[in-house]
Copies of this chain bind each other. A is one copy, B any other.
Amino acid sequence: MSIDAEVAALKKVPLFHGIDGSKLRLLAFMSQRVEYQDGEELCSQGDTGDSAFVILSGQADVLVDGEKLAVVGEHAIVGEISILCDVPRTATLRASGIVDVLTIAKDDFIKLMKEFPEMSLEVMRTLAERLEKTTRALAAAKSAAS
C-alpha cells in the first residue's frame, strides 16, 4: 500500500485525530502494517511485549488462559499494557476473520505519547474504559460466586 493510502487509513482512526498529515506520514513510516488471516495470533500470552497494535479493520479475540474474555474491533488500540508496565503479554490476541493491523514498536509508542498529549489522553481513556468494564465484570463474577 502506498504511503498516501496508509496515511488516509490512519486518518480514520479516532486515536490519530488531531495529528496533522506530516506526523501521520512519519507514523506510517515508523510503524508496520500487517494483515493477519483468520485464527492467526497477533501476540501470545506470556510473550515479551515489544509493540502496541491498532486494529485498522476486522476484529480479534482476546483470550486469557485459553478463555475468550473480549473482542477488540476496528480502531481499537491494544497490546499497550506490556509496553507500559514491562510485563509479558497478559492475553493472546487471535484474528477473527482477516484483520489489518498497525504495529507500533515500544519506543515509538512512548515517543508518540510524549509528543501528542491528545493521543495520550485518548489512550488513557481507552484504558480507563476497559478497566471500568473489567471491574464491573469482576464484581458480577464475585457476587455470582458468593
Contacts and interface: CB of A to CB of B under 8 A. Distances in A.
Contacts of A134: 131, 134-135, 138
Interface in A68-120: 69, 80-81, 84-85, 87, 90-91, 110, 113-115, 117-118, 120
A141 interface: yes
A132 B81 contact: yes
Contact of A84 (B85, B87, B113, B125): B125
- The quantity of this chain's copies bound in the complex is 2
A135 B84 contact: no
A1 interface: no
Interface of A: 64-65, 67, 69, 80-81, 84-85, 87, 90-91, 110, 113-115, 117-118, 120-121, 123-125, 127-132, 134-139, 141-145
